[in-house]
Chain A
Amino acid sequence: MENKMVSVCFYFQVHQPYRLRKYRVFDIGRYSNYFDEEKNREILNKVADKCYLPANRLILDLINETDGKFRVSFSLTGVVLDQFQEYRPEVIDSFQELVDTGCVELLSETYYHSLAFLYSEREFIEQIELHRKKIREIFNYKPKVFRNTELVYNNRVAYLAEKMEYKGVLVEGADYILGWRSPNFLYRPKMANNIKLLLKNYRLSDDIAFRFSLQSWDGWPLTADKFASWINAINGNGNVVNLFMDYETFGEHQWKETGIFEFLRHLPHEILKHPDNNFMTPSEVIKTYEPVGDLDVRNILSWADIERDLSAWLGNEMQRTAIEKLYELENAVKESKDGELLEDWRRLQTADHFYYMCTKWFNDGDVHKYFNAFDRPHDSFIAFMNVLEDMRIRLYENSEKVGMEVKKW
């Protein structure tokens, strides 16, 4: 019977922001090149070599070795695809090869990996549509399942996803949402009858993504057969184990030397040793299983840090000011009909910029420090606000040109 089965559902997030350079107050009105092209190119190439290319190669091999039984899904942001095209087109080819196997699902998200959902539904929907268009252009593919930036979720996300004809949404399996319930089943959102929710099994996901090389962890060293035995233990108690993580886990967050690629190389075979196990992509999970209950999420949920909330992006007043001032410009930017301005404004929405301003140093702050493009959170705030000031000048000058009435800031 089907309910004895356990399906393993992998989703990998692939994203790189356009990092800002140290834009100074004296650059305002003089230069409008906000992004550190050299650094972005360098990081993209580094991660392509350490993670994207070797991991894609390995996953392709595994799909072939298992006759297509190994299946995974990816969410590629629009901004990472843009950077691939600009700096490293072969990475696109390598994802294309994966998609061509038919064993790889692509998910939908906001083009700019933004938090637009929280500030402007109009912009949120426009970005999803831009992303859909990009995925169609590159991969000739139409995503059916939606995941929001950093798994930011509440009932409203499901409602909007249903209106946009998605079949499912990915959600963090946070304890305070699930209570005694298990993340290893599908759930039904409040207010959206045709959407099924896939909940991240954060324990097993984080065992790979965060704890894999942690020698003080009692699960260390994590081997493929050990991990498979944990999956097998769910057999009979769940339908699906959702393993959601950053793709950069492979080779970037966990270096090659930790054995992460060896782990991945053996994992599908170990999991498939158990006859009741299989791999599924999110759409296949949605087709196969039925929800076991309702999930009512009113407050915003995310996949970050111990709090699973927005404090990593909007926890301090610098972060809140920066993002509020950015979205204040939305109407003026859109009315300006200036394509470059709109593109810059949208790139500034990428969640990473606000993450870099996080000051939660003392608990999980170390992670933030590692991923920070700037030395200090205050530096990223300063650069960001200087850039906003320059955008205001561009808006003002633009409005003079077209004879439009725009407030002079």
Chain B
Amino acid sequence: MPRLLPERRNLIIIHCHDWMTYPAGIVAKNIARRLGKDAPLIVHVHATEIDRTAGNPNPFVYGIEKKGMKEADLIITVSNYTKDIVIRNYGIDPEKIHVVHNSIDYFEFESEKLIEDYPIKKYRKIVLFLGRMTIQKGPDHFLRVAKMVSEIEPDAIFVMGGSGDMFPYIVEEATRLGIGDRVLFTDFLSGDDLKRIYRIADVYVMTSVSEPFGITALEAIANGTPIIITKQSGVSEVIRNCLIADFWDIEMIANYIVAVLRYKELRNCLRNGALEEIRNFSWDIPARKCLSIYNDALSIYGK
């Protein structure tokens, strides 16, 4: 790593990630101060309690988050969407918030050599949900969308990958909606299976109610799958070649799915356009932004 930070003695930066680490970060900062060292505290917000609970935060967790954000010298959020939540729901001064969008290492997908045939694609069109089955990710919304699509697209099936506290409810709800045979479940996936499921899918649908970023959308793109995402997501700020709807607009999401399944021209334009957009994505970019934010943090304390 080239030297991107000024060489300074007594250099300490405390960079902590999400609420579970905030109390430790605050304590560390106080200790450093007592030892006479400059120790700016940076808190990095990957998700808030507002996102995780779809707007019904646990006051205990919320309190820790708020305290951490107030104590922080600088805040990094993974999107403008999250920045707005931090301003609106936590009363934080916008001046100290920096946005660093997440990324993926696209070159790893490009060199990827998983070339397989999927016989199921001859008979079925596959709509993919992937994520924890929690209220934040909107698996219940996905089911309602699936119900609408299944009625006019007889070849469509819906694959839901991931586990979480809502899993039993979702399985039962699928049967209650009468689409028990159209919705298939996989447990948590990783490695080649994860890549496989993206590639088998004709479209990836992210139904999140509140998604600070949404890296799965980038993974889907990298695997050549068109994406439909919600407006309430950070990834919608960095990708243009996608379809985007409000999370509550079930009918619009269903409309999009039907269109993507029906028209290969649309699939191709979305796929190729999005691939072009992520071609130069890598984790280097957010890493460099973080380094420049470290510099900003140090300058608060003067030279």
A: residues with CB less than 8 A from B are 22, 24-26, 316-318, 320-321, 359, 361, 375-379, 381-382, 385-386
Contact = CB atoms under 8 A, between A and B. Distances in A.
A381 B262 CA distance: 12
Given A24-B252, A318-B269, A381 B263 contact: yes
Given A24-B251, A361-B240, A382 B265 contact: no
Contacts of A386: 255, 259
A361 B269 CA distance: 12
**Counting chain B CB atoms within 10 Å of each CB, which of A320, A361, A382 scores highest?**
A382
13 contacts: A24-B251, A26-B148, A26-B254, A316-B269, A320-B265, A359-B241, A376-B240, A376-B243, A376-B244, A381-B266, A382-B243, A385-B259, A385-B262
B286 interface: no
A375 B268 CA distance: 19
Contacts of A24: 251-252, 255
A97 B119 CA distance: 69
Nearest to B256: A382
Contacts of A376: 240, 243-244
Interface string B255-281: 110110011011011100100000000
Given A318-B265, A318-B266, A359-B269, A382 B255 contact: yes
Contact of B273 (A359, A379, A381): A359
B259 A375 contact: no
Given A24-B252, A321-B263, A321-B265, A379 B258 contact: no
A382 B240 contact: no
Given A26-B148, A26-B254, A378 B262 contact: no
Nearest to B153: A25
Nearest to B151: A26
A25 B265 contact: no
The CB with the most chain A CB atoms within 10 A, among B148, B243, B255, B270, is that of B255
B152 interface: yes
A168 B47 CA distance: 65
Given A318-B266, A321-B263, A381-B266, A26 B255 contact: yes
A26 B243 contact: no
A26 B256 CA distance: 11
B227 to A, nearest CB: 11
Contacts of A378: 241, 243, 266, 269-270
Interface in B10-41: none
Interface in B66-81: none
Nearest to A317: B265
B268 A317 contact: yes
Contacts of B241: 359, 378
Contacts of B244: 375-376
A26 B251 CA distance: 8
Contacts of B152: 25-26
A382 B259 contact: yes
A372 to B, nearest CB: 12
A320 B270 CA distance: 15
Contact of A317 (B251, B252, B269): B269
Contact of B255 (A25, A316, A320, A361): A25
Contacts of A385: 259, 262-263
Nearest to B276: A362
B11 to A, nearest CB: 41
